[in-house]
Amino acid sequence: MPFNVAVILAFGILITSLMVMVAIASRRKQAAKEDEMRRAASARGWKFEGTRERGYQIHRWTGTTEGVPWVAESLVVTSSGNHRQKRPHVARWTAEWNPGFRGAILAMGLPSGKEQLGPAMAAGDGFFAKLAQKAAGFAFDKAIDAYFGAGPGKEVDAGAMHRLETKIPGFIIMAADKNEGSRLLSQGLETALIDATKDRSSALSNENRPWILLRPKAVSLARMDRFHTIDDVAGFVRAGVALTRTSKFGRPFV
């Protein structure tokens, strides 16, 4: 075998060996991290599992808090996932709930002071206005899918949502039924959200506050970031369960 070929072959073997070693070390580190998460979840009476699905590495917690069953997921894009740069990390939490209304209500979390810069459907009946409305509705629909998943996304007709006028810092409120949404806001939802944004211990006071989706059978919180610690998960649990405790939203988040 010529010397140059032997050198190239040896170099290739070395590079391959290094890549294998790095991959093994990475898997071991990930396994150790998941074991730690599993122990932390167990200490709180929750269950934890790690898996990979559709280009995401998923950490999933399940539990029941104050009689409310819930599931939380942290989705991190893997290097092998398609369109890595276009797919965000997502943290979401969903609980079973029967709030007593028919349509969906969405509270879009934004940094305080940015409420008026949020998306709004273009006004008017002309061709270009309708084209802009269609484009905005499509983007809004995709955003709901990205935040809450395909299942909840199918339940919500984003193009039919109406923006409601509120005084809630850091949130834009959209409702499938404008009258129903306004009623729920007046019955305490607006006050509860305002109080939550003032409570520094609440996940809803953080400038990277989640979106909240209220549906006839579930309540969900989600934001474009992963859960970094189990305390992040606990913050979503507290905020979500507090919402389910409210009677017609008459009591504040605690």
What percent of the chain has pLDDT above 90?
A: 34
Whether pLDDT at 249 is above 70: no
Answer whether residue 51 is part of any domain: no
Residue 96: predicted pLDDT: 85
Rounded to whole angstroms, the Cα distance separating 233 from 143 reads 22
pLDDT exceeds 90 at position 33: no
Distance of CA 141 to the CA centre of its chain: 14
Position with higher pLDDT, 23 vs 220: 220
Of the candidates 146, 139, 142, 141, which has an alpha carbon nearest to the alpha carbon of residue 56?
A: 146
Whether 165 is in a domain gets the answer: yes
**Residue 137, pLDDT score:** 64
Domain count, the chain: 1
3-state secondary structure of 22: helix
* 122 DSSP 8-state letter: P
Q: Residue 117 pLDDT more than 60?
A: no
Question: Is residue 213 a part of any domain in this protein?
Answer: yes
**Three-class DSSP category at 106:** strand
Instruction: Write out the residue range of the structural domain in which residue 203 sits.
Output: 95-245
pLDDT digit string, tens, across residues 66-89? 989 999 999 998 865 454 456 789
pLDDT at 227 over 50: yes
The mean pLDDT value for 231-250 works out to 82
Q: Which of 115-124, 147-156, 188-197, 234-243 is predicted most confidently? A: 234-243
Give the separation between CA 22 and CA 236, rounded to whole angstroms: 34
Residue 105 pLDDT > 70, yes or no?
A: yes
- Rounded mean pLDDT of 110-136? 55
Residue 69 lies in a domain: no
Let me know if residue 163 belongs to a domain: yes
Q: Is residue 41 part of a domain?
A: no
Which of the listed ranges 128-137, 184-193, 239-248 does the model predict with the highest average pLDDT? 184-193
In a domain, 138, yes or no: yes
C-alpha–C-alpha distance, residues 158 and 99, integer Å: 20
Using pLDDT thresholds of 50, 70 and 90, give the confidence band for residue 123: very low
**pLDDT at residue 44 in the model:** 94
Most confident of 99-108, 154-163, 168-177: 168-177
In a domain, 222, yes or no: yes
User: Taking residues 45-53, what's their average pLDDT?
Assistant: 91
Return the closest-CA partner of residue 221 out of 55, 90, 115.
Answer: 90
